[in-house]
Chain A
Amino acid sequence: MPLEKATVATIQDLAARYPSKQSAIIPALWAVQHEQGYVTNEAMSEIAQHLELPPSLIEATASFYSLFLTKPEGRHDVVICVNAPCMLRGADEMAAYLGRQLGVRDGATTSDGAITWHSTIECLGACGGAPMMQVDHRFEENLTPERIDAIIERLRKDPLPNPPHKREGEKAAASRMGEGEKAPAPDKGEGVTAKKPARPRAKKTEN
């Protein structure tokens, strides 16, 4: 399936932005994954064409990075961390619970196509809110079975695929500066779980 015009335009913009066209490979792969959900050989060839680079170079880069998907997945993407800091706060139990509730093994997609989940040993950067997971790249912290249930219910009902991976920030900036439509600020959107949890701060003491 050929890339959409908008994606091609993004790739061409990227190529012009960097001092070297090759630097545009990773952002171009993101643009493709944003449009198609995953990155096919065909799409990589098209990136190669627009960047005037050999297709093998695109695949060599793409295959190194774990976030680029090579096959279609569920509408939503759930990743739960089981590295040591999360393990200490019960991540194994939460991962097992998540798997049981979804009814599919680690790495698989639910039969309704709503959710693909997997556990990861790669720290996701929320050890202070462990156990945690990322849902479509958004943080869900301090997990309990009840919170997991609520998240699953929300995702199953949500008919749209992953929220757009790009451009949300720019829209929010435009709206704050009084241009364009009102767009929600990033990561502060709707839903019970999207609220930013209050973080403890270092106590201010004066000697």
Chain B
Amino acid sequence: MGIKPLITKDFATENLEQLAVYEKTGGYSGFKKALEMQPDALVELVKASGLRGRGGAGFPTGNKWSFLPKGVYPRYLVCNADESEPGTFKDRYLIEESPHQVLEGILIASYAIGCNLAFIYIRGEYLPQTEALEVAIAEARQAGYLGKNLLGKGYDIDVILHRGAGAYICGEETALLTSLEGYRGEPRLKPPFPAVKGLYGKPTVVNNVETVCNLPAIVLNGAEWFKAIGTPTGAGTRVWCMSGHINRPGNYELENGTPIRELIEEHGGGVWKNRKLKAFQPGGASMMVLLPEHLDVGLDFDAIAKAGSLAGAGAMVVMDETTCMVDAARRYVKFFHHESCGKCTPCREGTFWMANLFDRFEAGEAKPGDIDLLLDIGYNIDGRSFCPLGDASTWFPRSVIKFFRDEFQEHISEKGCPFKKSLQEAVA
């Protein structure tokens, strides 16, 4: 496979973050064209394109837009830039390289759903990226892409950039809205979905940064053009964040359906230090581990789900033969424990006990029944938590127990981490 990148195609252009340069590459012509269309036609176009949300769940974007109840205003668009899934750094890249593309996508989505005030919720850690967007917003306002009666078409739009302050849970859309309203970032019960009752109780669409970045090209080139890229149920491309034991970590935009092997071996230059691939994780901290036998699976929501994992937020964490899978799982579990908002018991208490157990394995204090105890705790969190954070905290550790149970056994029988011991012996 392999085509010209779609949303990163101009990223080699110098100073693309500047408005004048972005306009020279065709920037904002998608928004201008959108303003010539009826908003409903725009929603139909995005529906027909088959674009699915790039934030993790893969929900069809056009459908999400069409759920807004008729005649209820004001409506809000919120761009989710709270990228915090361990292993992901694509939204950061998209904002740094081309903040105006993000903004143009937001303007198109806002016009389509009839929103006059949009928000960008960016994670607190992304200070340079917040500044890049601040500059872009100021430039766009100056140039007349933001404000009243845009391009003489009678459409008003403003964008508020809202910086979060360190909470992974705020990437979950209802928690994000609660946080944007000024409260503690706790998720809300669905339904009602944000489309019906979202920000300030008004109809709201939450779209990921990468999702909105696809909109200018879809408006310019049409639904059929977009649909022809990728797979039948996964139109377009995705930006994959590759990290871990790989020769060339970084962001790679590839057509959906490209084999995982091509991403890891060709673009990433293969596993580092001439070592063997042990496992990889195709979607960030939440997602189940996959094995070398899954290398020919395509990079696509449905294909990866069929293989037993999830494409999630588009991270590819590569682990070589020296990786202690127990320690990798321990880090993720501690992360979820740290980030659990505390609202529901299964997640708040369950992640705490899982983290405790993993520390016992690491310290060499685990007992023979502890593997099954971990599975039992996982079983009692998954599907019983208020929001997906709790559920997702169990997927990676449980998949690691499924495929690497012997490593847990070794931690018990050798009273500690066998990988660290062999490392110490090698050094001594």
A122 and B124 form a contact (CB under 8 A): no
State whether A173 touches B139 (Cβ < 8 A).
Answer: yes
Instruction: Produce 1/0 per residue, A195-207, CB < 8 A to B.
Output: 0100111111111
Closest to A199 in B: B250
The distance from the CB of A191 to the nearest CB of chain B, in whole angstroms, is 14
B411 within 8 A of A: no
Given A122-B338, A173-B138; A22-B128 close (CB under 8 Å): no
Residue on B nearest A53 in the bound complex, by CB: B182
Cβ of A130 within 8 Å of any chain B Cβ, yes or no, is yes
The minimal Cβ–Cβ distance linking B389 to chain A, given in whole angstroms, is 13
- The reply to whether the CB of A176 lies closer than 8 angstroms to some CB of chain B is yes
B5 interface residue per 8 A CB criterion: yes
Closest residue of chain A to B182 (Cβ to Cβ) is A22
Interface membership of A129, Cβ < 8 A: yes
Query: Is A65 a contact partner of B243 (Cβ separation < 8 A)?
Result: no
- Smallest CB gap from A29: residue in B: B165
Chain B binder among A81-89, A97-105, A152-160 = A81-89
Residue in A23, A27, A165, A202 whose Cβ sees the most chain B Cβ within 10 Å: A202
Q: Given A20-B182, A22-B181, A88-B319 in contact, is the A138-B128 Cβ separation under 8 Å?
A: yes
**Complexed CA–CA distance, A168 and B318 (Å):** 37
Q: Is B292's CB within 8 Å of the partner chain A?
A: no
In the assembled complex, the Cα of A123 lies from the Cα of B139 at a distance in Å of 31
Whether A134 contacts B125 by the Cβ 8 Å rule is yes
Q: Let me know if B117 and A202 touch, CB within 8 A.
A: no
Contact of A64 among B8, B185, B244, B338 (CB under 8 A): B185
User: Across the interface, which residues of A come within 8 angstroms of B1, CB to CB?
Assistant: 207
B158 to chain A, nearest CB (A): 9
Q: In the complex, what residues of A have CB within 8 A of residue B252's CB?
A: 200-202
Interface string of A121-153 (1 = CB under 8 A from B): 111111111100010011100000000000000
- Report which of A64, A83, A203 forms a contact with B266, defined as CB distance below 8 A: A203
| B86 close to A123 (CB less than 8 A) | yes
- Using an 8 Å CB-CB cutoff, how does the interface string of B92-125 with A read, 1 for contact, 0 for none? 1100100000000000000000000100000111
Report the separation of the CA atoms of residues A207 and B96 in the bound assembly, to the nearest whole angstrom: 30
Indicate which residue in A25, A57, A126, A170 contacts B138 across the interface (CB closer than 8 Å): A170
The residue from A27, A125, A205 contacting B126, defined by CB atoms under 8 A apart: A125
**Residue B339 interfacial (CB < 8 Å):** yes
Q: Kindly identify which residue among A27, A57, A125, A177 contacts B125, using a CB–CB cutoff of 8 Å.
A: A125
Residues of A with C-beta under 8 A to B331: 82-84, 87, 121
- The B interface is mostly helix, strand or loop, or mixed, namely mixed
A177, A201, A207, most chain B CB atoms within 10 A: A201
Asked whether B270 is an interface residue with its Cβ less than 8 Å from the other chain, the reply is no
Residue in chain B with minimal CB distance to A136: B127
Judged by a CB distance under 8 angstroms, whether B148 is at the interface is no
Contact A138 B127 (CB under 8 A): yes
CB distance from B7 to the nearest CB of A (A): 11
- Asked whether A186 and B128 contact (CB < 8 A) given A68-B165, A123-B84, A199-B93, the answer is yes
Q: Is B193's beta carbon under 8 Å from chain A? A: no
The minimal Cβ–Cβ distance linking A190 to chain B, given in whole angstroms, is 14
How long is the Cα–Cα vector from A124 to B86 in the complex, in angstroms? Answer: 8
| Chain B CB within 8 A of A108 CB | no
A202 to B267, CA, bound (A): 6
Q: Which of B125, B134, B180, B243 contacts A85 (CB 8 A)?
A: B243
**Interface membership of A169, Cβ < 8 A:** yes
Cross-interface CB contact of A122 among B166, B184, B248, cutoff 8 Å: B166
Inter-chain CA distance A86–B192, complex, in Å, is: 38
Interface string of B138-165 (1 = CB under 8 A from A): 1100100000000000000000101111
Known: A127-B317, A173-B135, A203-B267. A27 touches B285 (CB 8 A): no
The digit string for A75-93, where 1 denotes a CB below 8 A from any CB of B, is 0000000111101110000
Which among A27, A57, A67, A87 is the interface contact of B328 at CB below 8 angstroms? A87
A residues at B contact (CB < 8 Å): 17-20, 22-27, 29-30, 57, 60-61, 63-68, 82-85, 87-89, 121-130, 134, 137-139, 165, 168-170, 172-174, 176-177, 185-187, 196, 199-207
Residues of B within 8 A of A (CB): 1-5, 8, 11-12, 18, 74, 83-89, 92-93, 96, 117, 123-128, 130-135, 138-139, 142, 160, 162-168, 179-185, 200, 241-245, 248-254, 266-267, 285, 315, 317-319, 323, 327-328, 331-332, 334-335, 338-339, 341
The 8 closest A-B pairs by CB, nearest first: A169-B134, A169-B131, A187-B128, A65-B165, A127-B243, A22-B182, A186-B131, A66-B166
> What are 15 sample pairs from A and B whose C-beta atoms fall under 8 A apart?
A22-B183, A66-B167, A83-B285, A88-B319, A123-B85, A124-B125, A125-B125, A127-B89, A130-B243, A169-B132, A172-B135, A177-B139, A199-B251, A200-B249, A204-B5
